[in-house]
Structure 1
């Protein structure tokens, strides 16, 4: 059995609660969660859901990462991410100054590499993103500060996509300071890229960051503002607007889940489903739909329908809806990986331990770095180990691979 001296999420919550001299009854009341559920989580008998962690973090005035144990610094060293992450931070030092020593290629050559970074984001390939992003940022900043007109706008648009890809890495690794820095750099380039849909994308990412801080009401306000940016395009049936609005509605649904507001969550989900129906197809965000179109469609809505019920604690219903998810061939690895991670959580909560392990293995085969670093994976693995009468070798191997807290 792999040994890991780090505490589980439940143990971290208990330790911090005691440090603050708060009883379980007081914390449950302040966080508006079930007392019995809090007890089970602290004792390691129930995995901590994202909603519970968010509620407890907000009640105690600390970031979510206080309890998830991120950013897993030892794993960054083990997987050789620490060096590229340092390079990424260094590249963000400059966003508005031309430098004589920076040589740049043509925008078409740079654009080809930006597309590779976007592909790596969809595959949750953190190593490739962190390796490619720093030199691309240097080049694109140089172009954005030396070119004029369309070329300058194009450089800023490419920067937004590189920043967004790096944001996904930073967020999933729990690097909250880097998330904030990347959002700032995105904001600078969005304002100079002359594309309202990139502005909506920035709002979408900004709202995403509130999952870590617990400021969910701020996230919902950000989404409301973003929807006004694209409303004219939605009325005109423009594909970029429908995709942008659909993703914003799905983000709003998850924010509502974290606040325990099931009615609002399901209402936002219905709006997203309606927008997907107006599209009538899956939009990939590449090819003929344009380089700045967010991917969206019925499959993404179906995945979120299951996730909504899981976050609300309706695990059996979540699994019923999960059976209705039928992704097309070649569907995005990052979304499918997340889907199987969420499905494993619901299966563990309903006692389907063998199925939960199978789902985790699917997530690992589809998006291995996501399946290693996602904090709920570690919670699920720990829950499987504690609930197993006999720990199978595959579970031992998975726990060792992702260095789960046992």
Structure 2
């Protein structure tokens, strides 16, 4: 029997029925169609006619658009996000334009503001960071082009990296690619091999799923940039590149390569000593390695291994909010996939409490909530609220 894709009408009927806490037989009793037909529509064996969809929507007390296409609340979210991201896109487009003289904002002030915005991203205050970022990009771009200095180019490259991170976290991969291109442009002028290597790491992650060999080559290019460097900064960047390589290998299902890169990253983390938070906002260290090892296990669908790793992991109190929330979403996914639905929902709620904006837009949140809806006989209030919150 065919399985419906995530965007099919049958799948949406099933999700909305479970949100209404109805069994298939209970919903069938409310519509002028048989239980058998409802069952076949939900599993994708039969198409849903317009009249059938209208009857189901009426029985569930929802707008028909919820069953025919993307939920209305998601459209509203996307509209708000588009308005928020448009100024960032415009700021990224300024890079090659002539500028008027500086309007009196010192470069040191702009650099400090760029660091503050990066801290906002790490604290998962994504909307606040996105609102403040365009003015800083514009100011640093203007400063770098009118009075070029290595420190200014370096600050601008770092700010472009922040734009990339925000765009990726809220679901704008096309804009993230543009930001990485700008980062490379500024890093080249800053003559900073570590920044250039970080760009290659980010590029590799962007290509990991669709082109595993390209991802591997980008990581190798990043390693070549810091191969002759021995500073703590360079060691941390090299270690982060190995973590990127582990993600690339995991998406290709190459367990041996994953283990090899995780081991290399652990060795470098030992040489770095502690967590290198001051190195280009990487926070590279042993905990970061463990989190990537668990992430690789999830990607390869080795859920029992990932669950064992997650339950053994104790995040320090000082763990960054963005990292803690990502761990909680990942753990929720693992708990759900191994049949521990109550624990999965509990971790999702905790992630939402810790970092609502990041959790809401994280693709794994939607996947996990959808999985919980499909496995639940009855939808708990908490799950229903979570589903409505993310736009299901």
If you compute each CA radius of gyration, which structure gives the higher value, 1 or 2?
A: 2
Q: Is the 8 A contact 1:183 1:206 kept in 2?
A: yes
Partner of 2:291: 303
Change (3 A) 1:371 1:8: farther
Q: Is the 8 A contact 1:9 1:379 kept in 2?
A: no
Partner of 2:96: 96
Paired residue for 1:337, among 325, 335, 355?
325
Structure 1 stretches lacking a partner, 5+ long: 1-6, 15-41, 45-67
Partner of 2:274: 281
Structure 2 stretches lacking a partner, 5+ long: 12-41, 45-69
- Superposed, 1:5-404 pairs within 5 Å as 9=6, 11=8, 74-77=76-79, 80-100=80-100, 103-148=103-148, 152-211=149-208, 214-233=210-229, 236=230, 238-285=231-278, 292=280, 294-404=282-392
Q: How far apart are the structure 2 equivalents of 1:115 and 1:189?
A: 17
Q: TM-score, normalised by structure 1?
A: 0.76
Q: Is the 8 A contact 1:133 1:166 kept in 2?
A: yes
Q: Is the 8 A contact 2:99 2:146 kept in 1?
A: no
Change (3 A) 1:73 1:102: farther
Cα displacement string for residues 213-257 of structure 1 (whole angstroms, at most 9, x for unaligned residues): x12211111001111211222xx3x21111101111111101101
SS of residue in 2 equivalent to 1:300: helix
The alpha-carbon deviation at position 11 of structure 1 amounts to 4.3
Q: Is the 8 A contact 1:190 1:199 kept in 2?
A: yes
Question: Please, what is the CA RMSD of the aligned residues?
Answer: 2.3
Change (3 A) 1:140 1:315: same
Q: Is the 8 A contact 1:227 1:245 kept in 2?
A: yes
Q: Is the 8 A contact 2:208 2:214 kept in 1?
A: no
Report the count of equivalent residues.
331
Q: Is the 8 A contact 1:364 1:372 kept in 2?
A: yes
Q: Is the 8 A contact 1:343 1:356 kept in 2?
A: yes
Say which structure, 1 or 2, has more relative contact order (CA 8 Å, 6+ apart).
Answer: 1
Q: Is the 8 A contact 1:102 1:138 kept in 2?
A: no
Q: Is the 8 A contact 1:179 1:209 kept in 2?
A: no
SS of residue in 2 equivalent to 1:321: helix
